[in-house]
Structure 1
Amino acid sequence: MQGTEKEYMEARQQRSKTLKKIMSLVGVVSFGGTALFGMANMFKTAFQESQQVETVEVVSVEERLQKLEKGYEKVLEREPENVTALEGLVKVRLEMGDKERAIAPLEKLVNFYPDREDYKVVLEQVRLEVKENN
């Protein structure tokens, strides 16, 4: 009887080992699949968010420049000789790529301060660029 009992115990241990291996394999595959799915979802979401952020930034920069331009124009309606507003308007229009409209406030700055060489240089550069583009 001891032989049969021993064989039974060995067979039982073998089945137990096999069952443990199968359960371990199922656990590892499940964990790996879940981790991969989570990581793929994370990268997908991050990629979509980065595209949305870039679009929002571009729109917000353009809107910000337009708001700044309107603000400087309102100041200049009340105070036509406000140097800070004139300089800001020139800068904003140049950032927007609107060089033709930057010439008028630059001319005012040169007229108000004829001894300022920096205003004259910028005015001449802008005029040349406008002529080259036309």
Structure 2
Amino acid sequence: MQSTEKQYMEARQQRSKRLKKIMSLVGIVSFGGTALFGMANMFKTAFQESRQVETVEVVSVEERLQKLAQGYEKVLEREPENVNALEGLVKVRLEMGDKEGAIKPLEKLVGLYPEREDYKVVLEQVRLEVGGKEEDGGDR
């Protein structure tokens, strides 16, 4: 009887070990599958985002500056004394190299704010540069 009980206990332990191995294997497979699915989804999303970035049109600096200048001009049509629009237009035109185009809004700023020395200084510098170019062009 003891041998039957001993065999039963051994068989039960083997089944228990087998069940533990199966449960461990199922756990490992499910964890691995979830991890692989997550990584695959992450790479798929990253790949799609990189494609979207590549297809975005590149706007040239000149086009951007031109659009900014047009925007400031539209604001000035509605509000001719808008300081922010006048300053923005001056900055954009100077960045574009259009010094002659920057003179008129600078003159308007000096007229609106005669106490602002910075406007006067920039206006004089721009006038000198524009005048210097005209003199250089006339000598040739």
Instruction: Name the CA shift for 1:79/1:6 in 2 (closer, same or farther; >3 Å).
Output: closer
Q: Which residue does the alignment assign to 1:22?
A: 22
Alignment of 1:92-131 (within 5 A): 92-93=92-93, 98-99=96-97, 102-112=98-108, 113=110, 116-121=120-125, 124=129
Gaps of 5+ in 2: 112-116, 134-140
Q: Matches of 1:122 and 1:9 in 2, distance apart?
A: 101
Shift >3 Å, 4+ stretches: 46-56, 61-68, 75-86, 109-115, 119-124
Aligned-CA RMSD value: 4.4
TM-score, normalising length: structure 2: 0.54
Alignment of 1:80-95 (within 5 A): 84-93=84-93
Gaps of 5+ in 1: 129-134
Q: Which residue does the alignment assign to 1:132?
A: none
> 1:22-54: per-residue Cα shift (whole Å, max 9, x none)?
221221232132123214413542564477479
Alignment of 1:51-70 (within 5 A): 52=52, 68-70=68-70
Q: Matches of 1:110 and 1:90 in 2, distance apart?
A: 7
> 1:56-105: per-residue Cα shift (whole Å, max 9, x none)?
6x66x9997665432322344567776543322233355xx632xx3233
**Amino-acid identity (%):** 73
1:9 aligns with 2:5: no
Q: Matches of 1:79 and 1:85 in 2, distance apart?
A: 9
Q: Matches of 1:62 and 1:9 in 2, distance apart?
A: 86
Shift of 1:12: 2.6
TM-score, normalising length: structure 1: 0.56
